[in-house]
Structure 1
């Protein structure tokens, strides 16, 4: 009986080993492989010279991950293709060895033409994928800030603060530099935000996080700072960091944040910005 149990345990162990995704044949058959061995295993090339589209393959077949200079995973597998988003300056290839360690190598890349890039990059950071400055929309909106209905309005409707009134609102909340002459600059490198009040931070977005179909385009989240007058007045002017994107087309950036606990039709604040 003991022999039967022993044989069964060996069989299970062999099965688990055969399913281990980190098991890599060829150069990494040892406990770990060198950077040079990994480089000789991977072929990485641009589909079109100087474009941001790439293909990769491995021989012998080796499971690898492809990352950009910020550590974002672009692709994974033994072969495939990927499109890098701006600013793409280098690519890292890494593989997990059988002993759990990791081997990687990086190489710089030159991109002079970006294709198939999600429009959010152009809409937030400008046509050149570098930086874009945003100010209060004093042209296409009848107000720049105010209160309205959550998931029903796309701009303030209950209480509208015009361009002529925004300085008073900002001064009353200790944010005078956020007034009519205020600005915020989004820089793609590092996804950085700089503001007229002297604060800096970062932004991130989730275009799959839709509150209501047909109303918003996802969320824009600030870290380390807020947009101009980015507070909730009825909550003691606490900073607001997450916003619904109501309009984002490269010329306009309209945002909304609800009062805590608000449901459809409840109280929400609205921010109307334009490209400088």
Structure 2
């Protein structure tokens, strides 16, 4: 089922598949399409909710609107109440993991557990100010028109090794306008808001939080931020197949790993 829901300052596009316990899959800036193969696999025994975050693709945003983790958390809480199948287990990846953590922090009544897959919580690291300054520079460069230069900086900050030629091939020349719009929204309205968010460990320790890290992400920035999050929560990270986008690249293996986590969560009930 595809539908929309009006929320303060935005209209959200969402999809619902399957039946059973509610499982939410969310990214930022990744949209519902990125999770579709994984959602199809999990819909065999779950009600699976996916969405385009506010301002991304089919979800609109009022002029001058913003996309802070607190707002995205409120959006998720409203969607969970709207589909009336909660409380939910919420798997968030990247900026979506920040949204999911904010949901558990601000709206714990709608959340059974959060699986935070590689949240880019830069402020948890010792050299946070240096990292954030580099990110401010690359965001400014992107918005000024230096697209490939900004992406090269982005991958350098993220400790993801990509040849310059590959970056130029991926982000130069003619590109899909919809993808460019999503990308520009990330650099202009989501990235800063996600990487500067600080979790309240006191509140989150009262929630059930699983911290996920890709098996192929070792040494990358989100490996380090996720490890710091896990340490702050006093939990051991859980490894998932692939890297930062493992759920896209290896949906079957990722679904198997996620089912194992969901089974463990069921035993906590």
Does the pair score TM above 0.5? no
Which one has more relative contact order, counting CA pairs under 8 Å at least 6 apart?
2
Looking at CA atoms only, which structure, 1 or 2, has the larger radius of gyration? Answer: 1
Decide which structure has greater helix share: 2
TM-score bracket relative to the smaller structure = under 0.3
